[in-house]
Amino acid sequence: MRLIVKFNIVFLAIFLVGLVIAAYVSLDLLRQNARDEVLQHARIMMESALATRGYTSKQVRPLLETQIKYQFLPQSVPAYAANEQFSDLRKKFVDYDYKEATLNPTNPRNRATDWETDVVNQFRQAPDRAEIIGERDTPTGRALYMARPLQIKDA
């Protein structure tokens, strides 16, 4: 075999090794960027739900005070407003979900599941913790979740 052919084979082998390494690094970088983007969207959506809660408690509830004395109106409850707003949003973004999971809810749909109970307990053990991000297995595959504590301060 001629020297130029051997030289080309060595260069081809080095090129292929470099290509495999670059592909591995790029794949990891792309996955991390996708994860960060999904988390940023989730943060924006969560802030939107929290803004809806604030709007309901500061502006809607005072307007309904008289009616609430005679009949319960779920629209006056900040959690109800946030969940309804997110339900409408979820029609377009089906892979996102919002839940105000609690261990002892007034509304049964807010009852924490097993894995959500673990997250609630993590917040109880570390009250200064602002956010928990993790992944869990679901019937449709791996799911990324982001949780923040929500404390009722002005009941």
Does the residue 143 lie in any domain? yes
- Cβ–Cβ under 8 Å, residues 75 and 60: yes
Q: Is the pLDDT of residue 61 over 80?
A: yes
Within a domain: residue 18? no
114, part of any domain: yes
pLDDT in tens, 79-132: 999 999 999 988 998 888 899 999 988 888 899 999 999 999 999 999 899 999
Predicted pLDDT of residue 155: 52
Structural domain contains residue 35: no
pLDDT of residue 93: 87
Residue 115 in domain: yes
The answer to whether residue 77 scores a pLDDT higher than 60 is yes
In the DSSP assignment, the letter for residue 109 is: G
Predicted pLDDT at 107: 85
pLDDT at residue 60, rounded to an integer: 92
* Within-domain flag for 151: yes
pLDDT of residue 106: 84
Q: Is 92 within the bounds of a domain?
A: no
In terms of residue numbers, what domain contains 137? Answer: 99-155
Tally of domains in the chain: 1
Q: Is residue 139 in some structural domain?
A: yes
Cα 11 to Cα 1, 16, 38, 59, 72: the distances in Å are 15, 9, 40, 70, 77
List strand residue ranges (DSSP E) for 26-151, in order: 132-138, 141-147
Predicted TM-score (pTM) of this structure: 0.77
